[in-house]
């Protein structure tokens, strides 16, 4: 090696040492000072084709958002791959009814601690019942139908389906494939048919590496830096179109902000647009009822105006998807429909306690408890567990 090569070699060695030291410092920093977002491993197998989290992966973690690593909630993956404080038992023990919650990121609940989710509060209020949560961000009505079929192994005595914007439009394959890992329906001669997921999901080595490194997790989920071959991951959003992008976007629900201050706003809809959704809604509601014979089903509307004055609720229609599902339920004694807007409006007028979580869109613990208490009162009023 010529003497002229030594300066270059020294530079490269020093640069490598500097990068290693910098990476080490950044790793410690993103574990302690500005903690990165922990994300559970996603999971989809062919046996039941339900996209959830891998129970053999990390069981606990802390969700953080933004470049400053703002803490939102502690999560726990249970024995069946769902975010819950409980491990789920198959079957139905005598004297212990089971309530199954089906929903999207509001039910999944990464923005609050796992013991502050709707299911945890509902279990405290309906003390004789086990409350099992089957929430996954980006889900919609067709996915709820499939998840309810999967949840039958736990013998639910009551199903609660949380409705959000685009629950029907996202269900229809002709509107575009939301995710290769979720169910949809498609139009066929004479009606509709279910479309199963197109792919199984296996966590790649890059995703597993990202779970081991706090620095990589910070870059992907907090700083939103698209690393080669990995894309970016996002905190659940609630704005316009239900999507789930797999592990990189483990909580990528993008649907309803629900933070409107009054009637009208951006929730404008044509007077009859929802009627075009009724056939698809009826097909999916009928599937839910037929695959759960004799089990009451409550459709609870979580998307909507949180601060709408109570005097304006009667004159402010629900979003199109909810109206179509409400119509599909008409005359079906197995179905019950609960508009949560009055409870939120009355509570806001009485207590002026905000409902938003750290992202400004999802519910905080206070709103989760309010939703749970409203559901508990509804269950008692209609004797749904008797």
pLDDT digits (tens, 9 = 90+) for 309-364: 999 998 999 999 999 999 999 999 999 999 999 999 999 999 999 999 999 899 99
Range of the domain at 357: 46-203+234-381
User: Which stretches does DSSP call E strand in the chain?
Assistant: 42-43, 52-53, 60-65, 70-76, 98-103, 130-135, 158-163, 184-188, 191-195, 297-301, 335-339
Counting the structural domains of the chain, the total is: 1
Residue 197 maps to a domain: yes
Q: Does the residue 357 lie in any domain?
A: yes
| 222 belongs to a structural domain | no
Q: Where are the beta strands (DSSP E) in 263-348?
A: 297-301, 335-339
pTM of the predicted protein model: 0.86
Q: Do the beta carbons of residue 185 and residue 280 sit within 8 Å?
A: yes
In a domain, 34, yes or no: no
Predicted confidence at residue 258, as pLDDT, reads 38
Residues 264-298: tens digit of each pLDDT: 333 445 567 899 999 999 999 999 999 999 999 99
pLDDT in tens, 166-193: 999 999 999 999 999 999 999 999 999 9
Q: 10 Å Cβ neighbour count for 48?
A: 13
293-310 pLDDT, tens per residue?
A: 999 999 999 867 889 999
1: in domain: no
Confirm whether 278 is domain-assigned.
Answer: yes
> What is the pLDDT at residue 1?
54
DSSP 8-state code for residue 265? T
pLDDT at 153: 95
pLDDT band at 253 (very low <50, low <70, confident <90, very high): very low
Structure tokens at 321: 């998807």
Q: Does 37 fall in a domain? A: no
Residue 2 falls inside a structural domain = no
Alpha carbons within 13 angstroms on the beta-carbon side of residue 243 total 15
CATH number, domain with residue 260: 3.40.50.1110
Count other Cβ atoms within 10 Å, centred on residue 286.
15
Q: Yes or no: say if 64 and 70 are a contact pair by the CB < 8 Å rule.
A: yes
Q: Is 350 left (phi over 0), alpha (psi -120 to 50) or beta?
A: alpha
């Amino acid at each position: 090696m010529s003497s002229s090569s030594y300066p270059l070699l020294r530079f490269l060695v020093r640069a490598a040492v500097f990068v290693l030291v910098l990476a080490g410092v950044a790793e410690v920093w993103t574990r302690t000072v500005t903690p990165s977002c922990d994300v559970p491993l996603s999971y989809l197998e062919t046996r039941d084709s339900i996209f959830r989290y891998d129970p053999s992966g990390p069981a606990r973690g802390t969700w953080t958002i933004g470049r400053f690593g703002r803490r939102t909630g502690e999560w726990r993956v249970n024995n069946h791959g769902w975010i819950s404080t409980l491990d789920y038992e198959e079957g139905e023990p005598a004297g212990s009814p089971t309530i199954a919650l089906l929903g999207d990121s509001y039910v999944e609940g990464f923005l609050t601690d796992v013991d502050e989710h709707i299911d945890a509060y509902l279990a405290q209020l309906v003390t004789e019942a086990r409350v099992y949560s089957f929430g996954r961000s980006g889900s919609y009505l067709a996915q709820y139908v499939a998840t309810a079929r999967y949840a039958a192994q736990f013998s639910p005595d009551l199903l609660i389906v949380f409705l959000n914007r685009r629950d029907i439009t996202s269900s229809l394959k002709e509107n575009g494939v939301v995710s290769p890992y979720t169910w949809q329906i498609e139009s066929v001669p004479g009606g509709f048919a279910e479309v199963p997921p197109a792919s199984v999901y296996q966590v790649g080595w890059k995703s597993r590496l990202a779970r081991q490194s706090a620095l990589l997790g910070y870059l992907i989920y907090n700083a939103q830096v698209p690393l080669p071959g990995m894309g970016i991951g996002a905190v659940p959003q609630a704005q316009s179109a239900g999507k789930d992008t797999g592990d990189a976007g483990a909580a990528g629900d993008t649907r309803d902000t629900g933070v409107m201050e009054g009637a009208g706003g951006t929730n404008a809809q044509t007077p009859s647009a929802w009627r075009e959704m009724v056939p698809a809604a009826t097909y999916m509601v009928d599937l839910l009822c037929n695959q759960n014979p004799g089990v009451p089903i409550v459709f609870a509307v979580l998307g909507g105006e949180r601060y709408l004055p109570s005097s304006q609720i009667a004159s402010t229609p629900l979003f199109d998807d909810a109206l179509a599902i409400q119509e599909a339920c008409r005359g079906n004694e197995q179905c019950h429909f609960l508009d949560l807007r009055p409870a939120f409006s009355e509570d806001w007028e009485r207590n002026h306690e905000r409902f938003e979580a750290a992202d400004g869109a999802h519910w905080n613990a206070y709103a989760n408890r309010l939703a749970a208490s409203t559901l508990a009162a509804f269950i008692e009023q209609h004797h749904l567990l008797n």
